[in-house]
Amino acid sequence: MRAPALWPPARWGAALAAAVLTALAAGLPTAVIPNPVFGRTVPTTWWAYPVLAATAVLGGLLLATYVRIGAERRTEPPEPDGPERRRRRLGTAGGLLSFLAVGCPVCNKVVLLLLGTSGAMTVWAPVQPVLAAASVVLLAVATAQRLAGEVACGALPGAAPAAAVSGAGSSAAPDARDTRRG
């Protein structure tokens, strides 16, 4: 993906902040990140740590694609169309699945009510790695689609039109053969 290479520092700052907040939002209540408020009755699985890290990185990148910077901040965001709504649902579903995947199987009250303690350990716990893989795939697809849209569009947030950079008059349209798109 070429889009992140073209991001200004403000967008990277938003990605970093979103990644940290995503890790904390998923890791603290599930006690993957040890803390004095939340605890686990079942030890954290080995795969929960890389899933949390992947969720944080992908979530940070995905959320940063929604940050409006530069001249884009002064305009109203467009109403999301069908494909954009699907991308948003993919990202939301990926984040939720990640939260459910890394959580303690017997700490989830809904799972306990539906399956009981033994069902949480014998039914839910074996499903959690599948949920983890699905969550990472959903977040990766949503992120790739958002980033591909930035490159295909050729209009990155905060980027000046080619005419303005080259010193041409303001009435000139940007060159359609943008070299950033290859």
> Is 162 domain-assigned?
no
Between 125-153 and 48-64, two packed helices, what is the crossing angle to 10 degrees?
30
For the chain, give the percent of residues with pLDDT over 70. 77
84-110 average pLDDT score: 89
> Is 176 domain-assigned?
no
The tokens for 145 are: 């689609």
Say how many domains are in the chain.
Answer: 1
Residue 15, pLDDT > 50, answer yes
Mean pLDDT of the chain: 82
Q: What is the pLDDT of residue 74?
A: 64
Residue 101, pLDDT > 70, answer yes
The tokens for 116 are: 């009981």
Q: What is the pLDDT of residue 146?
A: 87
pLDDT tier at 175, thresholds 50, 70, 90: very low
Q: What is the pLDDT of residue 172?
A: 45
> Is 180 domain-assigned?
no
37-59 average pLDDT score: 95
Q: What is the pLDDT of residue 152?
A: 61
Q: What is the pLDDT of residue 17?
A: 97
Residue 163, pLDDT > 70, answer no
> Is 169 domain-assigned?
no
> Is 182 domain-assigned?
no
pTM over 0.85: no
> Is 92 domain-assigned?
yes
Q: What is the pLDDT of residue 167?
A: 45
Q: What is the pLDDT of residue 82?
A: 76
Higher-confidence residue of 86 and 41: namely 41
> Is 163 domain-assigned?
no
Q: What is the pLDDT of residue 87?
A: 77
> Is 13 domain-assigned?
yes
Residue 173, pLDDT > 70, answer no
By the 10 Å C-beta count (0-12 exposed, 13-18 middle, 19+ buried), 6 is classed as middle
168-176 average pLDDT score: 45
Q: Could you tell me the residue range of the domain that residue 124 belongs to? A: 3-69+82-155
